Structure 1
Amino acid sequence: MSSSSWIPLWLHKLGSPPIFYRFAGVVRPWAMALAIITGAIALYGGLVLAPADYQQGDAYRIIFIHVPSAWMSMFIYGVMGIAAFIALVWRIKLAEVVAMESAPIGAAFTFITLVTGSLWGKPMWGTWWTWDARLTSELVLLFLYLGVIGLYHAFEDRRQGARAAAFLAIIGIINVPIVHFSVNWWNTLHQGSTISIFGHSKMSGAMLWPLLLMMLATKFYYIASLFRRVRTDLLSLESGKDWVRQIAQDEARS
């Protein structure tokens, strides 16, 4: 079998609710363990080992929470938008579930971004909030997440609600590049990017590695949290199916 025919078959099988349920059950504990380990190391590196900033002192250390959360707020919305598109075009139930269950996690990261940004902004800018382009577009991102969640739960038919929310998720994806490039497009209080994946980063290596490690930790946490939510939702959506009844019987016997 050629690789070109194997990959679509593999993806098709993984899209099956019972197969994905078992796959997620295996991956989720490992992802959560990696999230805890990498997150703990990153926090120790950022809060203890990294030196104080020559301008901001120790106040800058909030970036080890703020910046990874900001990255995740955009990353998760991108995943949600892609899953929503797949769900609408190919009517794949698992894609609907991934999109809808990504929204609460993304909203939480966006909320953390706004709160930590406010805590950082007070000593740096002298105010808790300003209608800065980056702050405003991030707030719009939170409203989009909440809109998707609200629209999904506004329908009695969950799949109808998921389709309506998927349209909003796709439309709202235009805000993601606005959040990312707002510092370059408008005159904002936020500083420009100091981290380059492929080029030279302006940040000290002692500060950079904990930040990148925390970014990795948040990715592992997203996977673990998403898989837990998807597994729970699949059991609810497929409650009348044989594979769900078999799981219930196996758990009753154990």
Structure 2
Amino acid sequence: MNRIRPVLRVLPAVALIVAALIGPWLAPHPIDVPVTGPYAEPGGAAPLGGDQLGRDVLSRLLAGGRELVVSALLTAAIVTAAAAVLGAVGALRPAVGRLVDRTADLLILLPAVLGLLLIALSWPGGGRLAIIVAAVVLGVPYAVRLVASAAAPVATSGYVEAAAAGGEHLWHLVFREVLPNLRAVLLALFGLRFVAAVYLVATAGFLQIGPQPPAADWALMIRENGPGILLNPWAVVAPSLLIGLLAMTVNLAAAALAPQVGRKAVSLR
């Protein structure tokens, strides 16, 4: 029973991510062709009604999550990997750690939306790639501080000091001695950075920094259909719910898996 519970907590996140990835192939109508009246109520060819141009909300909903999910997953993976290496190196080499801390302190002072605007708008044509770069730059400072704090006691433990005294090089200490004992922390960090990336990428879409009309994007749908929320609430409520559910389910999945990984990591020593 204890093994089934984590699986049940992971399934909603997996199902939602898979649905977002294959959604464009499941859309019943083209995303840019009107099938009903503007802000039409649900019914007939449009189970969730029409958007501001009469396009099928359900079709655009199915097609609008893939780039958000891919961008958030890629951002979370890069941020977690970079923070893991920088945090472990900083814990093992105090001089490097101080430099990393000072750099992180400077970047943390930059507001997320301002940083997003600076990077995305100064990179003409950067599109989704510029948003991912901005999300990585803004996410690493917070993540590296967390990893460095968790890595500090590991770096000063007896077996790491013994390995260092035995002549093991830095990268051996990082990847074979320190990071294996931080798997629970890194998995939890991945979930947190995924949530942060979802909100940052969605903010970019809402500000129309990334995807542009007539692209199907959940955040863009909220912005476009806001004026007609009283006519067809589903055009705004549905993408809003999916963004929230995506962030919540992935975070819960990471929290469900982290304790198991953590116990395995400890049992290796």
What range describes the TM-score normalised by the shorter chain of this pair? 0.3 to 0.5
Is the radius of gyration larger for structure 1 or structure 2? Answer: 2
TM-score, scaled to structure 2: 0.34
Q: Which has the higher contact order (CA 8 A, sep 6+)?
A: 1
TM-score (norm. length: structure 1): 0.36
- Whichever structure has more helix as a proportion of its residues is 1
